[in-house]
Structure 1
Amino acid sequence: MGSSESRVSSVPAQELGTFIQKQLRPYESCEKQIQETVGVICSILLGGGIPLVQGVAVGGCYGRKTVLRGDSHGTLVLFLSCLEHFQDQTKPQDEILKSVMSQLEDSRSRQRLKHQWETLRTPGGISIRVSTPWQKVTFEVLAAFNALSLSANPTPWLYRELIRSMDETKAAPGKFSVCFAQLQEKFFKKYPPKVKDLILLMKRWYRQCPKEGPSHEPLSTYALELLAVYAWEQGCRAEDFNIAEGVRAILGLIRRPEQLCVYWTVNYNLEDATVRNRLLRQLGSKRPVILDPVDLTHNVGGYVPWQDLQAEAQAWLASLSSTPAWSVLPAPLFMTPGHQLDKFIKDFLEPNEDFLCQIRKAVDIICSFLRETCFKSSPTKVQRIIKGGSTAKGTALKTGSDADIVVFLSSLKSFPSQKTYRSEIVQEIRTQLEACRQQHQFEVKFEISKWTAPRVLSFSLKSQHLNESVDFDVLPAYDALGPGKSTLWAYEELINVYRSSDIIGGEFSTCFTELQRDFILSQPTKLKSCIRLVKYWYKQCEKKMKPKGSLPPKYALELLTIYAWQQGNGMEDFSTAEGFRTVLELVTKYQQLSIYWTDNYNFQDETTRQFLLAQLQRTRPIILDPAEPTGDVGGGDRWCWHLLAKEAKEWFSSLCFRDGMGNSVQPWKVPTMQGPRSSGARIDPVAIQIPSDRSHFLG
């Protein structure tokens, strides 16, 4: 390290972006010159003069576009016609590579090229060094079997062949990773430029850390690059972000190597049995585990000198203590054993109590403002305010939870009037809420959404020091359950409006927020923790599935969790793994689901009875909102339940459904549908037991 090189950990958080730009990114002119030279080399190799070379891929950090200014490395992968299988790579390739390099040099001499490079022969092999005054990249030349010659996208068959070849040759892990060089470049290409900046920063820091053991570069830096990508994917996903927050998240992971289990399923996944078994074996091995996203046989986490980095990571974290960190788990839920799920919920899902206290204070200020000031100059008066959403129900997650503030107004005298006038009321509340933010000092960040919606005003409350937040919706509503109004009368009015107009089911669910809240709030504490777990699982699915289709609302999963517990267990102390397993099993049986409750409405009143019977004839899945009978959150074919069911089936292989002894966790016996007796006076479950097909489980 030169004397002019600044210590990364001493750079103030607010200056990290400038530091990366001025000291870490290669100069554009140097990049262009090296790119031209590499292009010339590849053109010669592929120009037909060297028939043995069928293809060329540029890999390493040069191929991943994560080259640091100064001295860096890459790989030049030559796909040779004589290598027809993975196993062929175990044979010595030195003489072939020497011949290819000799032909490359002959071509350069004959063509009198202006582009210059050095060919280096070392005991470890052959390298090509391309240099400019301010940049140097050394490319290790490697021979490889072209695994992707038939298709740009890998197939399960290809990974089965990889596994078979590894087993037959007893090759070292990662021996055949070079065959997937194009995939590695493709994997990194999709990430925003700022993620690459974050990678550059962590690589420079790593170079500056004192290390006692042998250096395993470039594999150790590749592992850190993957860790940075993982942290961004799990904790941020925004193209523009605070670099210091990302640094804190990565350093936090570096301090917990014994918990790290990082992997991707973009190239291989759990669908094929052979691939699934090897992948699960890899993920179950001693941690840290950071699987190469292009080669499931290669755990690059073992190349990082974690112990040497601990003190350095702690020191840098201390200097960034005033900066929040992204919330990133060291291991995914999928790899958490069933007997550790309660601890997982407590450690990673439950919100910070101090933050919740700050939220409650802020919400009280906002509610007081809405009640006393917002409509001070208007004939409209606030009749009452109800708090709803996951924060009020006791099922909030650490990050990205939601809450509702439902404002019942005197000017909204019926369900139709709510639909007609709520847009202009929302605009008025928005104006007044901006004033409230200016007038009060909040212990949390108060941000009003720039987006407007006709039925809702959204804002966020974020912790000043933690990566925790709650998204609020302010909703004006007709007070259908106000003083002097019975629930029976409210439901009859709702049903009549629903039948006589073209509104969609659940349109006026805000009017029944307190019933929704109380239904979930009244459930046992451990059941609400299980709901948190299911919601977290749902959010993971949402990230993965959202581009493919619209998933059912998470409220449907909350209700499904309660139903599973009520029908299958009913004890306040139960196995979280069994409850979670049962919910996912019900998701896979979505086409059979017909579920409702009679806590707030029932079959006694004739109007309600006839309406419920009609509701239960709808296309399944049917999951009626226990507070609002027009709301079917199952939705029939409205949402893509099949996507959620497909994901649930993959999760049957998860360690979540193995107990401490390694045995498979079985679901509770729960009916998938309910049906009223002919009298309509009682509801009995139809005993359709969920089969416990052991083929869905590990082992």
Structure 2
Amino acid sequence: MALLRMWGLKPKSYNCEKCGNDFVSRTALRYHFRAKHLGKVHCQTCGTEVLRASPQHHEKTDHEQTQTSNQERCWNMTFQREIKFVAMETSTSCRMCSKQFGTVHGREHHEKQEHHFTASKRAQMSTGFKPENVLEYRTPIELERFLEAKLRPISGPTRLACASEIDRMIALIKDSFPLSIAFVIKGGSYIKGTDTQDWSDLDIVIFSNAFEDLEDCKRRIPEVLEELRERLIKSSLANRLVLQKRTPFSLRFYFKCYKDHHGHSFDVLPCYDTFGPALSRGLKESFYHKLYLCNDSDLIQLYTMALLKYQVEFVKASTERVKDLMRLVKHWFKTSFAKPTKENKFRRLPSSYAMELITIHVWELAGKPIFFSFVQGMRAVLKLLVRYQDICIIWHKHYRSNSTVFQKVILKQTRPLVLDPANPNLNICENSNAWDEVAHVAQQSLLKPLFNGVQAKEPWLFTNNW
């Protein structure tokens, strides 16, 4: 398309006979015509065409039973994945009405004054220990057994078969992608090695040179995702896919894996190839500065996809025992908090990525031991979460401490601070407006039988200062 413009020619377009609007592909024109002129839209859940006037009827009759049975048979939904690739400024939005404030302090003052969000109300709305929580265990051996039986992915032939099925799905995504592919970056818990028996997710970021620039990518993503969706539902694996509501940047679906015993959550994200598969030190500095100056949140989302490779590598480099500790911490997370209600429906707990990074940091404070007690490790993580206002975690593998961007971000003095190891612009903790709830639940968890009478031992003695 860029070449055509260079020659002074107009790129080919497809014109709607009804309203005269132009579209870049037949697929986009067809979707527009059905939605605007035939009164049909695509169901956000399953992709089926339904009448615009009766989407609720379709949801009730076609989804109510099949969706429930599919999910109960194939997956135990653990985490609600973020709608955006990078969450932004959630920490300053109210948990009850989503109103934005300039600071976390301003937001908390509003919650107390307008919604009477007192300490007792916070305790009531945040804590929800479930029966499958590990906190009722009384010995480290019980915890190890639970980890082996319930959390670690099943190894051996099943794992190999699972890997083969995932490779098959990724190959299908590449074959079905409607644009030329420069390269693909894979992320998610499965790629990092932090997945569990009941939860595994994969991010497939597809970089294409077919986009003219990032603005063009942003504009064309809906069309590209729609065409990819249509091809997938006509593919040989269509009966093993359950499509979800599409996000602004990705096509999201569940893939029923080996013998339907479990499933994987996929996010497929198209992106413009800005730098190629690797960034040099000089390019990174320029890239970080460009991100710092960018005021378009959508473009920031797309820019940041180029850093996924480095985020994955950082977590993936952890030892297997540290990854097991991450699994335990994330299991604690999903079994200790009360579900949001209508009253606090805008509450956003920290992401699983934030929990992974905090776990790595605590392990590093202990001197990176190869063998350690999971009880001691979990206790250390929970004690750090209790004092969340003091959290300041920074790594300098990908950016210099004297870089201009880094120094400007640090001057903001935002707490808690967990700076993305691959991006000095991004405080991972800003994707949550409920750190006080995390601290409360962590404090209550430390009173449970698992930690009863447990004292810090080498190499965890630093936690005595907490």
CA distance in 2, matches of 1:476, 1:387: 12
Q: C-alpha offsets along residues 1-55 of structure 1, whole Å, 9 cap, x if unaligned?
A: xxxxxxxxxxxxxxxxxxxxxxxxxxxxxxxxxxxxxxxxxxxxxxxxxxxxxxx
Match of 1:395 in 2: 194
Seen in structure 2, the aligned counterparts of structure 1 residues 352 and 519 have a Cα distance that, compared at 3 Å, is same
CA distance in 2, matches of 1:602, 1:542: 37
SS of the counterpart of 1:407? strand
Superposition deviation, residue 560 in structure 1: 0.1
TM-score by length of 1: 0.44
SS of the counterpart of 2:383? helix
CA distance in 2, matches of 1:614, 1:536: 36
SS of the counterpart of 1:403? strand
Match of 1:347 in 2: 149
Q: C-alpha offsets along residues 505-540 of structure 1, whole Å, 9 cap, x if unaligned?
A: 666332222111111111111001101111111112
Superposition deviation, residue 423 in structure 1: 2.5
Q: C-alpha offsets along residues 201-251 of structure 1, whole Å, 9 cap, x if unaligned?
A: xxxxxxxxxxxxxxxxxxxxxxxxxxxxxxxxxxxxx998559x79xx9xx
Q: 2:228 aligns with which of 421, 424, 429?
A: 429
Superposition deviation, residue 572 in structure 1: 1.2
Seen in structure 2, the aligned counterparts of structure 1 residues 242 and 493 have a Cα distance that, compared at 3 Å, is closer
Unaligned runs of 5+ in 1: 1-237, 250-270, 273-328, 672-688, 694-699
1:365 and 2:160 aligned: no
Q: C-alpha offsets along residues 224-279 of structure 1, whole Å, 9 cap, x if unaligned?
A: xxxxxxxxxxxxxx998559x79xx9xxxxxxxxxxxxxxxxxxxxx99xxxxxxx
CA distance in 1, matches of 2:458, 2:215: 43
CA distance in 1, matches of 2:180, 2:264: 27
1:529 and 2:338 aligned: no
> Which one-letter code corresponds to 2:204 in the other structure?
I
Seen in structure 2, the aligned counterparts of structure 1 residues 500 and 513 have a Cα distance that, compared at 3 Å, is closer
CA distance in 2, matches of 1:411, 1:627: 26
Q: C-alpha offsets along residues 314-359 of structure 1, whole Å, 9 cap, x if unaligned?
A: xxxxxxxxxxxxxxx9853111235122221111111223554343
Q: C-alpha offsets along residues 130-165 of structure 1, whole Å, 9 cap, x if unaligned?
A: xxxxxxxxxxxxxxxxxxxxxxxxxxxxxxxxxxxx
Q: C-alpha offsets along residues 75-107 of structure 1, whole Å, 9 cap, x if unaligned?
A: xxxxxxxxxxxxxxxxxxxxxxxxxxxxxxxxx
Seen in structure 2, the aligned counterparts of structure 1 residues 564 and 507 have a Cα distance that, compared at 3 Å, is farther
> Which one-letter code corresponds to 1:489 in the other structure?
L
Unaligned runs of 5+ in 2: 1-64, 77-118, 121-129
Seen in structure 2, the aligned counterparts of structure 1 residues 488 and 337 have a Cα distance that, compared at 3 Å, is farther
Seen in structure 2, the aligned counterparts of structure 1 residues 582 and 546 have a Cα distance that, compared at 3 Å, is farther
Seen in structure 2, the aligned counterparts of structure 1 residues 364 and 667 have a Cα distance that, compared at 3 Å, is same
The answer as to whether partners of 1:591 and 1:620 remain within 8 angstroms in 2 is yes
Superposition deviation, residue 627 in structure 1: 1.8
1:649 and 2:443 aligned: yes
> Which one-letter code corresponds to 1:462 in the other structure?
K
SS of the counterpart of 1:404? strand
> Which one-letter code corresponds to 2:223 in the other structure?
E
> Which one-letter code corresponds to 1:611 in the other structure?
V
Superposition deviation, residue 639 in structure 1: 1.8
Q: C-alpha offsets along residues 616-670 of structure 1, whole Å, 9 cap, x if unaligned?
A: 233211111112222211118x521111111000000123225xxxx41438888
Seen in structure 2, the aligned counterparts of structure 1 residues 397 and 498 have a Cα distance that, compared at 3 Å, is same
Seen in structure 2, the aligned counterparts of structure 1 residues 350 and 481 have a Cα distance that, compared at 3 Å, is farther
CA distance in 1, matches of 2:273, 2:341: 35
Match of 2:377 in 1: 579
CA distance in 1, matches of 2:337, 2:208: 35
1:509 and 2:307 aligned: no
SS of the counterpart of 2:186? strand
1:601 and 2:404 aligned: no
CA distance in 2, matches of 1:385, 1:645: 38
Match of 2:108 in 1: none
Match of 1:87 in 2: none
CA distance in 2, matches of 1:585, 1:368: 44
CA distance in 2, matches of 1:562, 1:405: 24
1:489 and 2:283 aligned: yes
The answer as to whether partners of 1:415 and 1:494 remain within 8 angstroms in 2 is no
1:686-697 aligned within 5 A: 690-691=463-464
Out of 514-523 and 345-354, give the one that drifted further: 345-354
> Which one-letter code corresponds to 2:221 in the other structure?
R
Seen in structure 2, the aligned counterparts of structure 1 residues 541 and 240 have a Cα distance that, compared at 3 Å, is same
1:55-74 aligned within 5 A: none
> Which one-letter code corresponds to 2:294 in the other structure?
S
Q: C-alpha offsets along residues 170-204 of structure 1, whole Å, 9 cap, x if unaligned?
A: xxxxxxxxxxxxxxxxxxxxxxxxxxxxxxxxxxx
Q: 1:336 aligns with which of 131, 137, 152?
A: 137
CA distance in 2, matches of 1:239, 1:581: 41
Q: 1:666 aligns with which of 453, 456, 463?
A: 456
CA distance in 1, matches of 2:229, 2:351: 26
SS of the counterpart of 1:477? strand
CA distance in 1, matches of 2:172, 2:199: 25
Seen in structure 2, the aligned counterparts of structure 1 residues 240 and 413 have a Cα distance that, compared at 3 Å, is closer
Q: C-alpha offsets along residues 280-338 of structure 1, whole Å, 9 cap, x if unaligned?
A: xxxxxxxxxxxxxxxxxxxxxxxxxxxxxxxxxxxxxxxxxxxxxxxxx9853111235
SS of the counterpart of 1:470? strand
1:228-627 aligned within 5 A: 241-242=68-69, 331-340=132-141, 341-353=143-155, 354-375=157-178, 380-412=179-211, 414-436=213-235, 439-440=236-237, 446-463=240-257, 468-482=262-276, 485-503=279-297, 508-544=303-339, 548=344, 549-603=347-401, 609-618=403-412, 619-627=414-422
Runs of 4 or more consecutive aligned structure 1 residues displaced over 6 Å after TM superposition: 667-671
Seen in structure 2, the aligned counterparts of structure 1 residues 383 and 554 have a Cα distance that, compared at 3 Å, is same
Seen in structure 2, the aligned counterparts of structure 1 residues 483 and 528 have a Cα distance that, compared at 3 Å, is closer
**Going by fraction, where is strand more abundant, 1 or 2?**
1
CA distance in 1, matches of 2:215, 2:425: 15
Q: C-alpha offsets along residues 428-458 of structure 1, whole Å, 9 cap, x if unaligned?
A: 221222233xx259xxx62232412220111
CA distance in 2, matches of 1:570, 1:497: 32
Q: C-alpha offsets along residues 360-414 of structure 1, whole Å, 9 cap, x if unaligned?
A: 2233223323334533xxxx31111222100000000111322111111112465
The answer as to whether partners of 1:667 and 1:692 remain within 8 angstroms in 2 is no
CA distance in 2, matches of 1:413, 1:494: 21
SS of the counterpart of 2:264? strand
CA distance in 2, matches of 1:665, 1:412: 57
Superposition deviation, residue 481 in structure 1: 4.6
The answer as to whether partners of 1:552 and 1:641 remain within 8 angstroms in 2 is yes
Superposition deviation, residue 692 in structure 1: 5.3
The answer as to whether partners of 1:382 and 1:409 remain within 8 angstroms in 2 is yes
1:81-120 aligned within 5 A: none
CA distance in 1, matches of 2:310, 2:391: 23
